[in-house]
Structure 1
């Protein structure tokens, strides 16, 4: 009886370890594939099979399926039975909706964070946004996107509003793909002028009105730049995308 219990316990422990390892591999595959999609290395509308993606990412079938399930649930990938998968398209409507919500949340975050920010942290992230790395424009844009997201999330976290942080985090993830499509495909870096510097100044001084206004203007300006670049990229991908069209995307 004692030996039987020991064997049962050993089997259960082994099963837990195996399940944990499977989860870790699935999470790794998810991170790899999501990064490829968000950075637009895999373009919106692109179709692929499990075998193609296993070879591209060098992951196993079980791990890839975990990743695909999560990406499907998140709306970045659509399953096409017996035909593989398709990456979600990007539309002009996506740009409008993401920035409409940023227009509400980011000025509010700036107002709430006034007088509560870590100046050294924001200045370090701002310098990273402006820095140019050796290598191609694509790598520079990847670095900018990461630094820019961290800059805006640092302000949101300083607001002390957890729900605002969660909502803005999701929006910035979506925006990353829009910026990658627009600026990455066009091979140019975003130009944010001095908005971040002004925002830091007002946030540190505790001037909520000025910080809110700069945040609103920054989102408006960046929205126009992203819209222009996204439309250009979609047209290059053989799509006709009239500005303001409700849901016209890349047809790949």
Structure 2
């Protein structure tokens, strides 16, 4: 019986490595180091990481579930290409969901609930200024999903989370180098202030503008 006690620790260590690899692979996708349309094998990536192929294969399967890569039989994983049409459709869906939801949350949320989002909004700005792209995307995701969660519809939050994963774009490094991320980051604080002022219409307009900016920034760099 005593042998069972060690097993959970082993599993946790394996899962932690898998998560670390997945995190590193996402970073490589964002920076453009892993290129759209290219096929990468788990053993080759594992050699780069200096680890065995198993956690890399597991991490790639996690990314495949998120739509970031797709398995290629007997070869590895292809980095998913996102077309302009895909981006337009994902952006339209996000706007249809997020814009009216921001208006509804402005009318229903307490001041305390909204103020609780301020540290995350500030984290987005700091990450943009520090050129911390992974931190930027992580804080941006947490802000948007936490804001939507105040509406109380779990499926809505899930849906936007999926749309965000599938519409993630390439070339964030180049955008950062051109100084375009900081302005986009600051829009989160502007949105929060409008919501705290109770101006639902202005908050909706700000969210619509923000999503439009995000889409046009990415498009400008992607093509």
Q: TM-score range by the shorter chain?
A: 0.7 to 0.9
Change (3 A) 1:193 1:25: closer
Q: For residue 65 of structure 2, what is the aligned residue in structure 1?
A: 73
Structure 1: segments with no counterpart, 5+ residues:
1-8, 232-252
Taking only aligned residues, the RMSD between alpha carbons, in angstroms, comes to 2.9
**In the TM superposition, what is the alpha-carbon distance from 1:107 to its structure 2 partner?**
0.8
How far the C-alpha of 1:18 sits from its partner, in A, is 4.6
User: In the alignment, is residue 36 of structure 1 matched against residue 28 of structure 2?
Assistant: yes
Counterpart for residue 119 of structure 2? 124
**Structure 2 vs 1, CA of residues 206 and 79 (structure 1 numbering), >3 Å: closer, same or farther?**
same
When structure 1 is superposed on structure 2, of 192-201 and 84-93 the one drifting more is 192-201
TM-score normalised by length of structure 1: 0.71
* Aligned equivalents of 1:38, 1:183: Cα separation in 2: 6
Aligned pair 1:203/2:195, yes or no? yes
Question: Aligned ranges for residues 1-252 of structure 1 at < 5 Å?
Answer: 9-10=1-2, 18-115=10-107, 116=109, 118-131=113-126, 133-134=129-130, 139-175=131-167, 177-178=168-169, 181-186=170-175, 187-188=177-178, 189-190=180-181, 191-192=183-184, 195-231=187-223
- Cα distance, 1:119–1:79 mapped onto 2, change above 3 Å: closer
- Contact 1:183 1:230 survives alignment (8 Å): no
Deviation at 1:200, TM superposition (A): 1.6
Larger-gyration structure (1/2): 1
Deviation at 1:45, TM superposition (A): 1.9
- Distance in 2 (CA, whole Å) between partners of 1:96 and 1:162 is 24
Query: Is contact 1:48-1:84 (8 Å) kept?
Result: yes
The alignment's TM-score, normalised by the length of structure 2, stands at 0.79
SS at match of 2:77: strand
Deviations 1:201-223 (A, max 9, x none): 23113332332222122222332
Provide closer, same or farther for how the CA distance between residues 158 and 28 of structure 1 changes in structure 2, counting only shifts above 3 A: same
Q: Which runs of 5+ in 2 are unaligned?
A: none
Q: Is the 8 A contact 1:80 1:86 kept in 2?
A: yes
Contact 1:129 1:148 survives alignment (8 Å):
yes
> 2 CA distance for matches of 1:119 and 1:166?
20
Q: CA deviation at 1:16?
A: 5.8
Q: Distance in 1 between matches of 2:134 and 2:14?
A: 29
Q: How many residues are treated as equivalent by the alignment?
A: 216
Q: 1:80 to 1:222 in 2, by over 3 A?
A: closer
